Structure 1
Amino acid sequence: QLAREGVHVGRKRVARLMRMAGLYGASRRRWPRTTRPRAGARRAPDLVRRHFSADATNVLWVADATYVPTGEGFLYLAVVLDVFSRRIIGWAMSTNLYTELMLRALDMALQQRRHDGVILHSDQGCQYTSIAFGRRCREAGVQPSMGTAGDAYDNAMCESFFGTLEAELLSREHFATHEQARQR
């Protein structure tokens, strides 16, 4: 931001000034891998090809899931994000990383938005390649799209959201219970 405003300053100077002001940068911790492609699963074609832009709402949605650590163990968060508005339009939380979690997030998005013909891009996790998820997309008129397995750049918009969530909330706050995390 400083560079955009024409202020030229080195990284070490910024670090020193932040330290003097009692400010600390948020660092990201490593997360367990959530994408487990199922052997022999039929995956949808990659209709996005890392081009995460749309001219209007409800043209391209992206979906993914992440872990939220709590004192009671992991809680899983699945989201559906509209690429044009950059808003979370569907989300769900569960103690299990089953297809039902992704379906609940998708159903919330479908209830809130016009969706006929929308492209839904995700990774190749077994939840997204499942028969139930594919059936729900067909019934709703949603075109599934999938990037390659284990490549964060193929779902960069969702990964960016999760990175911000981690840096601004999850790395700074500890949730004792699942319910406490859900409320936040």
Structure 2
Amino acid sequence: MSPTYPSQVWRVDLTDIRVTQGCVYLAYALDSFTREIVGWAVSKCIDAALALRALNNAPQACCPAPGLLHHSDQESQYGSRVYVDRLREAGLMPNMSREGNPYDNARMASFYTTLKTEEADLQDDRDFDDVQRHSTAFIGQLHNEERLHSSLGSVPPAEFATQYHGA
């Protein structure tokens, strides 16, 4: 799945972030072409509602490019009836990794490794609010607006998307 334009393939995943009293969970959607995180959400519960909030937080989810492929691993949150119904309602085509194939979602694993080593592990996150604040700053500002990606010609994802659209 090598996209040739924005909003052709979105990859989604969930991860946990340790806090003083256990952990909280982060769900996110990444545009495979621009490497931009287009939607994310944080929750105390790892459930379909978390995955759905991340999807609904992606502005393009209301009117995606025709045939946008939504790729996830086989976690139950992404296969739930409410989640799959929302994908179809939004015109997104659900696609899941092959069973036992860790390479299908390697780009997502790479993102959350970066998130954890450059953000979560360096913060003294004590609770949900800390993670909410820090992950929003990391994703919305640092990752999307400032972090240079060699695969994008050494520009940040948001700038790459803007250049692509000629704005």
TM interval, shorter chain, is 0.7 to 0.9
Distance 1:150 1:71, change over 3 A: farther
Q: Does residue 73 of the first structure (1) align with residue 8 of the second (2)?
A: no
Say which of 37, 54, 57 aligns to 1:88.
37
- Map of 2:140 onto structure 1: none
Select between 142-151 and 61-70 the one with higher mean Cα deviation: 142-151
Say which of 154, 161, 166 aligns to 2:116.
166
**What root-mean-square deviation, in Å, do the aligned CA atoms of Structure 1 and Structure 2 show?**
1.6
Distance 1:151 1:172, change over 3 A: farther
Deviation at 1:171, TM superposition (A): 2.2
Q: Which has the higher contact order (CA 8 A, sep 6+)?
A: 1
Q: Rg bigger for which structure?
A: 1
Return the alpha-carbon distance in structure 1 between the equivalents of residues 115 and 5 of structure 2: 25
Q: Does residue 58 of the first structure (1) align with residue 58 of the second (2)?
A: no
Deviation at 1:62, TM superposition (A): 0.2
1:30-71 CA-to-partner distances (Å, cap 9, x unmatched) read xxxxxxxxxxxxxxxxxxxxx3x2111010000000001111
Which TM-score applies when normalising by structure 2?
Answer: 0.74
Secondary structure of the 1:69 match is strand
1:75-115 CA-to-partner distances (Å, cap 9, x unmatched) read 10000000111000000010001101001111112556741
1:139-176 CA-to-partner distances (Å, cap 9, x unmatched) read 11100110034543111111110011111112222211
- Percent identity of equivalent pairs: 37
Which structure carries more helix by proportion?
Answer: 2
Say which of 79, 84, 96 aligns to 1:134.
84
- Map of 1:121 onto structure 2: 71
| Corresponding letter in the other structure for 2:10 | W
Which TM-score applies when normalising by structure 1?
Answer: 0.68
Distance 1:95 1:109, change over 3 A: same
Q: Does residue 105 of the first structure (1) align with residue 86 of the second (2)?
A: no
Distance 1:157 1:135, change over 3 A: same
Distance 1:112 1:123, change over 3 A: closer
1:3-29 CA-to-partner distances (Å, cap 9, x unmatched) read xxxxxxxxxxxxxxxxxxxxxxxxxxx
Return the alpha-carbon distance in structure 2 between the equivalents of residues 150 and 136 of structure 1: 26
| Corresponding letter in the other structure for 1:80 | A
| Corresponding letter in the other structure for 1:84 | F
